[in-house]
Amino acid sequence: MEPIFAQAHPPAPRIIGAVNWRGLWTLYLKEVRRFLNVFTQTLLAPVVTTLLFLAIFALALGGAGRQAAGVPFVEFLAPGLIMMTMMQNAFANTSSSLLIAKVQGNIVDVLMPPLSAAELTLGIAGGGVTRGLAVGLAAGLAMWVFVPLRIHDPAILLFHAVNAALMLSLLGMIGGIWAEKFDHIAAVTNFVITPLSFLSGTFYSIERLPEAWQIVAHFNPFFFLIDGMRYGFIGRADSVIALGLIVVPTVNALLWLLAHRMFATGYRLKP
């Protein structure tokens, strides 16, 4: 009689240590491949838009040796534009990923696997940071063809680039979890993210603002990101760089805790 061995040797359950590295890596790859799959929309489009912004502002304002903050206007503008497009794309990546998954119902594929709230936060934020940095790098290289970009302090530059991408990825996650319809996230993009990224010193030095608004700007974390990024390029900032080095990571830590908390409690994710 032929014994049946099927039950005798079931596959052993995978032993997962403190961190589910394989799951985390898979989630990260999913997030990255998601945007690479449509790279015309997610990488090329923002680069083209950024170059168009550079063109119109250079043509409208760059003439007659116009300077801003002591450097030629286009050199002042380029770091701001790189930062703006990084922010918008990092936000778009995580918010659309979560919202589409929620609306289509395939969010269960992310919530069911043995991934902790910390791993979910890290994996999805990692995808957004990668998109932000990739777009920023591509936009920077494309601009470099037209504008002589010099780098004053690579460490400061990298610090602000990574923190900006992270801040907007976290905001995108929080927004994507909170939103129930595409209208909601479109409203946040239209009325919060775009205005903040436009008005936080991308196109002008905040010295040009009325004094009261200069104080308001210092409560806007986007301002520190753009200002710090610009310092990394041209070596001149509107604010004190050290202040940004404290404010920006603090804001990121708070946002991280909030996103983590949302995953842990299943806010608007689990029934």
Partner 1 sequence: MLQPMAMAPAPRRFGAVNWRGVGALYRRETVRFYRYAWESLAGPATSALLFLAIFHFALGGGEIRPGISLFAYIGPGIVVFMMAHSAFEGGAIPILFDKMEGMITDVIGAPLTPLEILAGYVLPVIANAMTVGAVILMLMAVFVDLPVHSVTAIIGFAFGASLLLALLGLVIGISVVRWDGYSAVETFLVAPLGFLSGAFFPIDNMPEAVRWVFHLNPVFQAVEGFRYGFIGQAQTSLVTAALVLTGLSLVLGLVAWRMLATGYRIKP
> Which residues here bind partner 1, judged by CB under 8 A?
38, 40-41, 44-45, 48-49, 52-53, 55-57, 59-61, 63, 68, 183, 186-187, 190-191, 194-195, 198-199, 202-204, 208-209
The closest of 238, 218, 213, 215 to 228, measured between CA atoms, is 238
Q: Which residue number, 55 or 108, has a Cβ lying nearer to partner 1?
A: 55
In angstroms, give the least distance from the CB of 99 to partner 1: 15
Question: Which token pair is 143?
Answer: 């601009």
Counting Cα atoms < 13 Å in the Cβ hemisphere of 222 gives 24
In angstroms, give the least distance from the CB of 37 to partner 1: 10
Vertex 158: Cα angle to 219 and 32 (nearest 5): 100
In angstroms, give the least distance from the CB of 11 to partner 1: 40
Q: Which residue number, 62 or 136, has a Cβ lying nearer to partner 1?
A: 62
Q: Which residue number, 40 or 104, has a Cβ lying nearer to partner 1?
A: 40
Q: Which residue number, 68 or 259, has a Cβ lying nearer to partner 1?
A: 68
> At residue 112, what is the residue type?
M
Q: Which residue number, 111 or 186, has a Cβ lying nearer to partner 1?
A: 186
The closest of 223, 93, 99 to 166, measured between CA atoms, is 93
Q: What are phi and psi of 152, to 5 degrees?
A: -85, -45
In angstroms, give the least distance from the CB of 191 to partner 1: 6
DSSP codes, 10-58:
PPPPPP--SS-HHHHHHHHHHHHHHHHTTHIIIIIHHHHHHHHHHHHHH
CA distance 260 to 271: 18
In angstroms, give the least distance from the CB of 13 to partner 1: 41
Q: Which residue number, 52 or 108, has a Cβ lying nearer to partner 1?
A: 52
Question: Which token pair is 138?
Answer: 């591509």
In angstroms, give the least distance from the CB of 73 to partner 1: 8
In angstroms, give the least distance from the CB of 53 to partner 1: 8
Place of tokens 């700007």: 217
CA distance 269 to 265: 9
Q: Which residue number, 20 or 189, has a Cβ lying nearer to partner 1?
A: 189
Question: Which token pair is 92?
Answer: 């778009």
